[in-house]
Structures are given as C-alpha cells and as structure tokens.
Amino acid sequence: MRILVTGATGTLGGALLPALIRAGHQVRALSRKERQSSGRVEWFWGDLASGKGVADAVHGVDAIAHLATSGPRGRGAVDVPGTQRLLLAAREARVQHLLYTSVVGVDRVAIGYLGHKLEAERLIGESGIGWTVLRATRFQQSLDQRLRAYASFPVMLVDRSLPWQPVHTGEVAALAAALLAGGPEGKEFEFGGPQVMDTEELVRTWLQARHVRRPCLPVHYPGRMYAAQRDGELITDTDSRGVITWHDYLHPAPPALTDDFASEHTASPTSPANQPENDPDLHVYGGDEGYERPTRS
C-alpha cells in the first residue's frame, strides 16, 4: 500500500516512517523543505497552509497519515484550513483512508490548540472519506525536550497537582501503522502511556536520569488548559496503553543481540546498517509539530 505521511519531519513522523517501511508499505512523505527521495521514502514538497504541492503529493496514494499540525503555538492554519485542503485533494484523488492523529481530551477540552484539533476531527468525519482518528497522550520525547529547555534555568517550577500520562512515540507509531493496514474504522481510538504520574515524579525521574541538579520550586500553573489537565481531562483510562514507562524511556535497555549480529558488524563501521540514526530514510529530524518554515514561495 502506498501511504502519504504529512508532518513526516515531526517527532511522531520520525517514528512512523520506519514503522511503515518495516511493514512493507510504499512511503511518501510531505515536507516544506526540498528533500532527496530514495528507494525507501519518496519525498514531496508541499505546504498545507497554502495548498501548494498538496494535490501532487496525494495523487496515487491509497491512504494518508495526517500528522501535521500548527501545534500549541500556532493559530490552527494547518489543523483546520490545511486539513480542509488535504481533504479536498484526497477526495479528488479518491483516497480510501485518512488516519488523523489527535490528542486525548479534545472532546472534553476544546480550548485553543485542542479546539483546532477537534474541528479537524469534525471535518474529517464529514468528508465522505474513510477515516480513523488516533488520540494520544503527551509524547515522552516531547516532554524530554521540554524539560531540557526548562533545565536551562536555575530553578525548576513544579506543579505537583498536574497528572501526566506520557507515551512513547514508537508505540503510537506502531498502532498508527496497524490502523492504516486495517482500513478505515470510522471512529476514534485513545492511546496513552502505561502510568499516570504527577509533575514532581516526572521531573525528579528526569533529573536523576539526565544527571542534572536543579532545585524544584512548588508552583500552581495558571490557565484553563492546566485547570483541565488538573481535573484529569487529558489522560485516558482505556485498556489500550503502551508498555514503555517514563523510567524505561529515560533508561533504555541495551539493544538485544540477534542471530544476524556477526553479519551486521562485519560491514563498514560507517555503513548505514550500523548507524541507523544517520540513515535519512529511517530517522527523520524535526520539531514536535512536523511543520517547518517555508523555503520557497
């Protein structure tokens, strides 16, 4: 199956591309930067905010994994108008299935960024295209990046009243790949991390794992979004959960040896087979939202 991935350069996109490749799919990826295609990933230049290049990227695909978003700091240009443009192109190309990645709690807390995500869900559900929505809790990788930024300050501000349910992007990507292979479900799925913890435990575990010493100052985060999180609206009690805990993510186990260990290590040390993190087809770098600055008009 040929699958187009929007937001392919984001945190989740970087996990989904290799998951789809391993499953044997033909992968096409949308990017706002010019990228060289290869035998594993076919890159298309396109801009969901303006619509340029989107029809070309959608043409000939069987399914779309729509990960791109403006993010919490955006104004919904990708989530709502961008999704409308993608749906128009998908209908014209007779795409059979669109999987949209959303956020746990959008149906309960339609505030700001989450309101944009909920509106995108509505547009997809009314589009006439076969669809599936996958709502996930906060990514462990995103929280790690956020805490790295906070650690640049001399004190960590900690709101002990906030519950978190971090989930590993690799597990979200594996579920997304399975849902794409299974065809449109016409419903929403929730997926969260295996444990719920407060901010103090989250930060303390991170500081220990990253060998960072910072005093923690108790505070109360203001705003409606944090109030909703405090009430547990952004966590899920579904049975569909990951197994990689926050501690596991921060302390990854060494890779297990395989039967192909000898052959893998007889190749050149600089071979992509021995450095998968440097293989552009298997690891894609980008920000959380998978949405980059334009490089041409």
Q: How does pLDDT run across 184-229, given as a tens digit for each residue?
A: 999 999 999 999 999 999 999 999 999 999 999 999 999 999 999 9
Q: DSSP for 53-65? A: THHHHHTT-SEEE
Contact 63, 96 (CB under 8 A): yes
The amino acid sitting at 250 is L
pLDDT tens readout for residues 162-189 = 999 999 999 999 999 999 999 999 999 9
Average pLDDT over residues 267-294: 37
| Residue with the two structure tokens 């009430």 | 231
Q: Please tell me the pTM assigned to this model.
A: 0.85
Under the banding of pLDDT at 50, 70 and 90, the label for residue 39 is confident
Q: Please state the φ and ψ torsions of residue 176, each to the nearest 5 degrees.
A: -60, -40
Torsion of CA 103, 106, 112, 118, to 10 degrees: 100
Q: Maximum Cα–Cα distance for the chain, whole Å?
A: 56
137: three-class secondary structure by DSSP: coil
pLDDT at position 258, please?
55
Strands 197-198 and 163-164: antiparallel
Residue 277 per-residue DSSP state: G
Domain 2-250 has CATH 3.40.50.720: yes
Average pLDDT over residues 280-288: 34
The two three-digit tokens of residue 11, written as one number: 């945190």
pLDDT tens readout for residues 81-113 = 999 999 999 999 999 999 999 999 999 998 988
